[in-house]
Structure 1
Amino acid sequence: MTQALTLTFNGAARTVTGSCHEFVFGKSRVLVDCGMFQGSRTLEGLNASPFAFNPRHVDAVVLTHAHIDHSGLLPRLAAEGFSGPIWCTQPTADLLEYMLADSGRIHEADTARRNRRRDRVGEEPFQPLYTEADALAAWGMCRPVELEEWFEPAPGFKVRLWNAGHILGSASAELEAGGTRVMCSGDLGPDNKAFHPDPEGPAGFDHVLCESTYGDRSREPVTIAARRKVLEAEIRGALERGGNLVIPSFALERTQELLLDIVELLRAKAIPPVPVFIDSPLASHATDVFKRHAAELEDLHGSCVFEHPQLHFVESVQESIRLNSVSGAIILAASGMCEGGRIRHHLLHNLYRREATVLFVGYQAAGTLGRVILDGAQRVRISGQDVHVRAAIRRIDSYSAHADQGELLDWIGARAPIHGSLFLVHGEEGALETMRRLAQARAPDATMVVPEIGETWELPAGAPARRTRTGRVELAAAINHDWQNAYADFVTSLKRDLSKIRDEQAREEALAKMRKVLDSYAAHRDGRRKHEAADASRER
């Protein structure tokens, strides 16, 4: 019997993050990406779940790029027994040294902070997901390869990488095994992307995996020059308000794009000579990698924009704290979705100020603090403190590192003919459904599949994929809902809402009724468990 290539989706299925595509052919097992889930606390909790496979049985990883939602679980994979090579481009390997180490330090620091909490005294201490040492060990497994060069990551597999135009070093992965040709898009960049040419790749596949992050969104075509005019207007508007312009920015690529445009505006005297603080050690390291690869990048025109005298790279915590007293400056800080890092410190000290401006320039996943602010929250909770949102909240869409709906459809069309199935991944529900409907016209012969996490599919040559294992239904709640966001909103508003009740006794009654509701849910849950246990006993 002929061996079949199979594919299991261990992440980035009906959600944007957690990319991990597991390909098996015979005794060989290759992962395309091994990334972290990012977004709500509930979703991020999946990062600590056991792998759906034995890391010791993985022969190799093919890494599309250095973003943590594609690479962030590599240290844990290595710590649990993986010892094979991690194939990627040279820029990705260079970035990974800093990206993974930074992630390891964050896990160690967050775990130490949780263990210091007074309400955990005497309890078993938490352990970090992985350490900085684990991260550097994983980075040491990188095996750089040139774009468009075939290599064999495991017996029976041939792979080559194609420019994806997303970030420095990003690639799409073409795989061949058992006579089946597969293309994994990775993350695809838009047209008119700074630094990189448009995505590339061959045509004629049996199966294609395409990201769908912006599958329900079309952007007006914007040149780099036009984008700079929009940024100029936002900077001028923020400075006229008199406060800081705070920009939550991803340390890798988005920060460097912004610096490119800000420096060009400064050189053209289109904006005043305002100080620009880059408050992210990781962004500083990533910028150094950009300098190292400057000769390979577009739009730099032989000059190093990253050494302009108005740019100030903030390293120490003390320097970061001193920015509390600054006004009328531009502050770029990570993380881009406001879920951690120094940006939360700057939001804490600027969100309540009417003269301040917060400018979002990147995707904000459902459940993140950035998405909550962007959606118009009047109050948010940051580091245990309630913050009234009075700052001007602004947004620019033209900095996206992701292709929009039309560009994704064009990429799919360029891969035609697709003889088997088109899998739509890396998207939220609305984006996936819109893409599924529209993509059929671009790939009329392909079977459309929107997979669930945990599903396994057999990938025959020249025929539609066949599902051989269903998904993990228990993960649907983690992907689509997050009780902790509702809890934070409730707690943030509770004191204010109670204060509206003038009568002390009425307040006490309101609290008593809330307590009664919680108690009734607990009693109902206990009763249901006893009932289920009794049913199970009778069945035995």
Structure 2
Amino acid sequence: MTVTLSFHGAAGTVTGSCYRISHPGGEFLVDCGLFQGNKTVRALNEKPFPFRPADIDYVLLTHAHIDHAGLLPKLVKYGFEGPIHAIEATAGLMDYLLPDSAGIHEYEAERENRRRARKGKPPIDPLYTKEDAQEALTRPVGYEYQTWFEPGPGVKARFWNAGHILGSASIEVQVDDASGKPIHILFSGDIGPDEKVFYLEPDAPAGFDYILCESTYGGRERDDYSLEKRRDVLKTEINRALGRGGNLVIPAFAVERSQELLHDIGLLIKNGDIDPQLVFLDSPLARKVTAVFKRHSKGFHDMELSPDELFADNRFRIVESVQESKDINKINGGAIIMAASGMCDAGRIKHHLRNNISDPKSTVLFVGYQAPGTLGNFIQSGSPEVRIHGENHVVRANIRSIGNYSAHGDHTELMDWIAERLPAHGAIFLTHGEDEGRKAMQKALAEKGLSGDKVRAPQLDDRFELRATGIARVVHTDAPRIDPEQFNADWTSEYTQFSIELGNLLTRKKSDKERLELIKRLKDELAAN
């Protein structure tokens, strides 16, 4: 039996990370993440796994972000019985992230079932439940960085610091083929930038048969910056926003982004650089995650605040209850409001956007990547009107973006990371990125002499039979789970924006007669098709 690498997620898109290794000793996964983005992409979560969960011996987990770990409860629900190997801090984060994710799926199923009941349709089950999440949380086995272990027959592995979030890792794996010769593979996980609070720069050895590298920021560069310069940019944005007289709303992921922002905002307040009335972190999950960060803070690097000062400023309000969250809406100005989710597609941030986005005195500041089809992407891209909780809202707030709080390395940093890991005797696989970004990295690698079959951009569910010296065979799926074009824009998100634009067009017409004429022309066009 050969060693086969299958790409069941993060292939042509930036979420759903899931790689399966089949080898003479069994099968295992590297990551098992939730698909996020537009409705068509999210529907992949509901489809059956393209493998039998009961056949998976164990999971190697790069980090706790939901797009890498969020389908572990579903894996358990459908028959997976093995352990989950991860860095100790990753296991600590999972204690909160997986039950939170399960709660969201239960809530969404409950809301959908109310609609279905009104239409006489049968109810649906949630993707997974809190009980499934709790069962998954009995499986983690924790490790330190750079320590070899043998998760199963014919496999050795060790974790390396990826510099992305707390506990994040690149995973070095040696898998024996049928002759007993090891095939040497490095899974990048998500690679952090060179300048980042809390962690040292990403690290791993050089010389592999195969390297899998994420490409989230392929083809995109951020301004060169130091941590000091990044705080200067944040200071400018905060003072400009508060100077307008309204609130500053920051969509931020509950893990990492929120904690980095709290650190830097706390430092700017301590130094007298900014003077907000209050700073809210409105996320029950972020509150719990922040407690995990405090427990690990003694091992952090590049902090300007002491562990005792971290997240402790008396203006900070780390909000948990629904009533506390609602009370924030009474504040008309002078507050910084951070809430999840970072792409505005779920969670409490939608309530704060609904309350502030039509106020010209308010500011919305994006500090991270906004996937195509998400509410955050529509707002960041300049849509004059957006739909939140089923209602249209005119965008009058000042929309701003800064890129230097991303937890991902940019194009140059990714290229440098690959260069430091070479040679790759077999091939380099570019994953966890949109096709445009992957093409940019392929071009850059070709300019360095790595081209043709040496650099691959696999599509969803592609399988590669591996030898130490190169790929023996490529198998493309006969039944794609999704049209790759739908990763970037699906009909549901386009329909939402079209309906908003059509409504605005009808409103701008001078008379009912003109509105009726427009509707008739559209109906005639539809009838002709």
Please give the TM-score of this superposition, normalised by the length of structure 1: 0.93
Alignment correspondent of 1:21? 19
Deviation (angstroms), 1:121: 3.6
Q: In structure 2, what is the Cα distance between the partners aligned to 1:517 and 1:49? A: 35
Q: Does 1:500 align with 2:501?
A: no
Is 1:258 the equivalent of 2:264?
Answer: no
Q: 2:277 aligns with which of 274, 279, 285?
A: 274
Q: How far apart in 1 are the matches of 2:378 and 2:286?
A: 24
Aligned mates of 1:139, 1:40 — CA distance in 2: 28
Question: What does residue range 142-221 of structure 1 map to in structure 2 within 5 Å?
Answer: 142-178=140-176, 179-221=182-224
Q: CA deviation at 1:220?
A: 2.5
8 Å Cα contact 1:163-1:172 kept in structure 2: yes
Maintained 8 Å contact 1:453/1:472: no
Q: SS at the partner of 1:117?
A: helix
| Structure 2 equivalent of residue 306 of structure 1 | 311
**For the Cα contact (< 8 Å) 1:185–1:211, is it kept in 2?**
yes
Partner residue of 1:463?
470
Q: State the Cα distance separating 1:390 from its structure 2 match.
A: 0.3
Instruction: Please report how far the alpha carbon of residue 440 of structure 1 lies from its aligned counterpart in structure 2 after TM superposition.
Output: 3.0
Amino acid at match of 1:325: K
Partner of 1:404: 410
Specify the alignment match of 1:529 in structure 2: none
8 A contact 1:18–1:34 mirrored in 2: yes
Matches of 1:273 and 1:500, distance apart in 2: 40
Give the superposition deviation at 1:361: 0.3
String of CA shifts for 1:336-376, please: whole Å, max 9, x gaps: 00000000000000000000000000111111111111100
Deviation at 1:251, TM superposition (A): 0.4
Confirm whether residue 453 of structure 1 aligns to residue 460 of structure 2: yes
Check the 8 A contact 1:421/1:465 in 2, yes or no. Answer: no
Tell me the alpha carbon deviations over residues 16-73 of structure 1, each in whole angstroms, 9 at most, x when there is no partner.
1110001010251110000011111111111101100000000000000000000000
Paired amino acid for 2:316: L
What CA distance in whole angstroms lies between the structure 2 residues aligned with 1:212 and 1:118?
Answer: 40
Distance in 2 (alpha carbons) for counterparts of 1:308 and 1:43: 40
SS at match of 2:150: coil
User: For the Cα contact (< 8 Å) 2:463–2:474, is it kept in 1?
Assistant: yes
Distance in 1 (CA, whole Å) between partners of 2:252 and 2:140 is: 27
Select which of 77, 80, 84 maps to 1:79: 77
Given the superposition, is the C-alpha separation of residues 118 and 10 from structure 1 closer, same or farther in structure 2, using an over 3 Å criterion?
closer
Q: Which one is further off, 331-340 or 445-454?
A: 445-454
Aligned pair partner of 1:295 in 295, 298, 301: 298
Give me the TM-score of the superposition, normalised by structure 2.
Answer: 0.95
Tell me, in whole angstroms, the C-alpha distance in 1 between the residues paired with 2:118 and 2:19.
Answer: 37
Separation of aligned partners in 1, 2:391 and 2:247: 21
Alignment partners' CA distance in 2, 1:121 and 1:367: 28
Tell me the amino acid that sits aligned with residue 283 of structure 1.
Answer: A
AA paired with 1:237? Answer: R
Aligned length: 519
Q: Please report how far the alpha carbon of residue 443 of structure 1 lies from its aligned counterpart in structure 2 after TM superposition.
A: 6.2
**1:427-456 CA distances to partner (integer Å, 9 max, x unpaired)?**
112110000111234563870100000100
Partner-residue secondary structure (3-state), 2:12:
coil
Partners in 1 of 2:75 and 2:412 — Cα distance?
Answer: 36
Answer whether contact 1:183 1:207 (CA < 8 A) is retained: yes
Aligned to 2:497: 489
- CA deviation digits over 1:167-221, x for unaligned, max 9? 0000001111122100000000000111000111111100110000011112222
Q: Does 1:342 align with 2:340?
A: no
- Corresponding residue number in structure 1 for 2:242: 239
Query: How far off its partner does 1:478 sit?
Result: 2.7
2:430 counterpart (411, 424, 433): 424
Whichever residue aligns with residue 112 of structure 1, its letter is E
- SS across alignment from 1:180: strand
Gaps of 5+ in 2: 177-181
Q: CA deviation at 1:381?
A: 0.3
Of 84-93 and 170-179, more deviation after overlay is shown by: 170-179
1:363 maps to 369
What SS is found at the alignment partner of 1:459?
A: strand
Displacement of 1:139 after TM fit?
A: 1.5
Single out whichever of 58-67 and 467-476 deviates more from structure 2: 467-476
What amino acid is aligned across from residue 131 of structure 1 in structure 2? T
Structure 2 partner of 1:527: none
CA offsets, 1:479-509, max 9 Å, x none? 2331111111122222221123334344234
2:242–2:276: 8 Å Cα contact kept in structure 1?
no
Q: Structure 1: which 5+ runs fail to align?
A: 522-540
Residue equivalent to 1:43: 41
The amino acid of 1:371's aligned partner reads N
Q: 1:127 to 1:520 in 2, by over 3 A?
A: farther
CA contact (8 A) 2:93 2:289 kept: yes
How far, CA to CA, are the matches of 1:156 and 1:199 in structure 2?
27
Q: Deviations over 1:501-533 (max 9, x none)?
A: 334344234324434444554xxxxxxxxxxxx
Of residues 28-37 and 301-310 in structure 1, the stretch that sits farther from structure 2 once superposed is 301-310
Partner of 1:93: 91
Distance 1:140 1:247 in 2: 34
1: CA distance, partners of 2:262 / 2:521: 54
Range moving further from structure 2, 121-130 or 510-519: 510-519
Q: Which amino acid aligns with 1:504?
A: D
- Quick one: percent identity of the two aligned structures? 48
Amino acid at match of 1:356: S
- What secondary structure does 1:107 align onto? helix
The residue type paired with residue 213 of structure 2 is C
Which residue is equivalent to 1:530?
Answer: none
Residues 220 and 500 (structure 1), Cα distance of their counterparts in 2 relative to 1, 3 Å cut: closer
8 Å contact from structure 1 (residues 447, 464) kept in 2 = no
Could you tell which deviates more after superposition, 329-338 or 221-230?
Answer: 221-230
Closer/same/farther in 2, CA of residues 518 and 138 from structure 1, 3 Å limit: farther
Verify the 8 A CA contact 2:283 2:340 in the aligned structure 1: yes
Partners in 2 of 1:114 and 1:513 — Cα distance? Answer: 35
| Aligned residue type for 2:324 | E
Distance 2:25 2:526 in 1: 52
Q: What is residue 55 of structure 1 aligned with on the other side? A: 53
